[in-house]
Structure 1
Amino acid sequence: MKKYVTYRRVSTAEQGKSGLGLDAQTRDIDLYLTTYSDTPYEVIGEYVDHISGMDDARPELTKAIAQAKATGAELLVAKLDRLSRRVSFIATLMDDKKLALRVASMPNADKFQLHIYAALAEQERDFISLRTKAALAQSKKKLGGLRDTTMKRNAVVKANAQRRADNVAGLILPLRDAGRTLREIAAELDKAGVKTARGGSWQASQVKRVLERLSDPA
């Protein structure tokens, strides 16, 4: 009878990700057993680690490997990266002549093919890491440029507002000092033909903003 020891691994960050959770790994292992395995078969051990794939010190994997070697069973995992994300660690397992390894998602792959896949996967992860860092650096550069542009634009807007306030100061300040209300000052500006920045009529709120700018031009 064909014997298997199954091993599943998940890190906290991977718990909810599609294709990486324990349920998904169980599904892939079951698919292999019902579709590709010799029959009859028996699963004689099941082991699970909750730890990062970059950490090679995994107690449950150690137990799974020991049982598989002692009983002649195949060590069955859903995906190759569930064993480890390090190609060097995977290579060590594949070099162990006493250990038979099977990957459910690559049911017909031999050890040599799995080794090649592990090496390519590690290269891809390294490239993705570099690409992500480059994208983040580019984004920061763009954000910095946008921030500089925004600051310059705001400075121009502020300078223009201060210039317009200075232009009407000779009319507004004497009216304020004479005790006129904001609404009355707005009416006087309209009578004098003074336009707002947008070319419209004056409102009390606009007069208030001009007075605040004149009192605090910074």
Structure 2
Amino acid sequence: MAVSFYRTNVAHNVTGSAMQQGRYVAYYRVSRKRQGLSGLGLAAQRKTVFDRLCDGGELVAEYTEVESGRRTDRPRLAEALSACRLHRAILIIAKLDRLARNVAFVSALMEAGVEFSACDFPQANRLTIHILAAVAEHEAKMISERTKAALAAAKARGTVLGGFRGRAGTCTDLAKARAIRAAKADCRAFDLAPTIRQLWSEGARSLRAIADGLNSKGITACRGGAWSAAQVRNVQKRIVL
């Protein structure tokens, strides 16, 4: 979704480095909107790219996209490729599967006139990339088919699918539920962070003052209703002012 343009040379001592010095455009992709908002997965990709470029390279732009790996109509990727051509830069990605699990899509990308590098497979050439993309596409298809078959078999055995359905949740069920709640809280904190930072910069330095500021802006608390100091404290634990 986001794109940032800047010039920064992250090279140190590049003697004998496997990464050639040059211009790079970074492309990050996460599959779900929640991942894009929370930064889950995205932060790891950025770290991988920056770690790779610290041996030499000038990062001129970054593009982030929230899309399914099966889709090929990615506007941010198209913009990244355009930036690569404009700056005569190399498209750099953290992992090869961030591009797509689709051979035709990878082929089209390779014909776009842009060189690209995958941090997890820097030695890959055009042939190996085609092979790996084909394997990834096959794997994605097999996972989908196995999941459908397993669900059909469970349903045939009389297993009630979807949720607890009146039964007591297992430890695994409860752990998953907690993880879902935590992810939702992280997303909510991400949305609130700019407003809380603004209130902080305007002088609202206490939890009560921030709560009053949020209430005055008509922003409801996480579970609806007015904000309390305790609720603000819970949100602040998830963000950095």
**Common fold by TM > 0.5:** yes
> What is the TM-score with the length of structure 2 in the denominator?
0.52
Q: Give 1:9 deviation, angstroms.
A: 1.1
Matched, 1:139 2:147: no
1:26 alignment partner in structure 2: 46
The whole-number CA distance in structure 1 between the counterparts of 2:51 and 2:124 is 16
> Which among 47, 52, 59 is matched to residue 43 of structure 1?
59
Query: Residue by residue, what CA displacement relative to the aligned partner does 1:139-167 show, whole Å, maximum 9, x if unpaired?
Result: 111226xxxxxxxxxxxxxxxxxxxxxxx
Unaligned runs of 5+ in 1: 145-218
Unaligned runs of 5+ in 2: 1-20, 160-241
1:104 to 107, 112, 119: 119
In 1, Cα distance between the equivalents of 2:78 and 2:90? 14
Is 2:27 aligned against 1:7?
A: yes
Equivalent residue, structure 1, for 2:234: none
The structure whose residues are more often helix, as a share, is 1
Contact 2:101 2:140 in 1 (8 A): no
Letter of the aligned partner of 2:52 in structure 1? Y
Q: Secondary structure at the match of 2:157?
A: helix
Q: Which string of whole-angstrom CA distances, capped at 9 and with x for unpartnered residues, describes residues 56-76 of structure 1? A: 222211111011123221100
Percent same amino acid at aligned positions? 40
Runs of 4+ aligned structure 1 residues displaced above 4 Å come to: none
Count, aligned residues: 138
Separation in 1, partners of 2:72, 2:52: 25
| Cα shift at 1:13 | 5.7
Kindly indicate whether the alpha-carbon contact (under 8 Å) linking 1:14 and 1:21 is maintained by their aligned counterparts in 2: no
Name the SS for the 2:121 alignment partner. Answer: coil
1:80 counterpart = 2:96: yes
* Structure (1 or 2) with the larger CA radius of gyration: 1
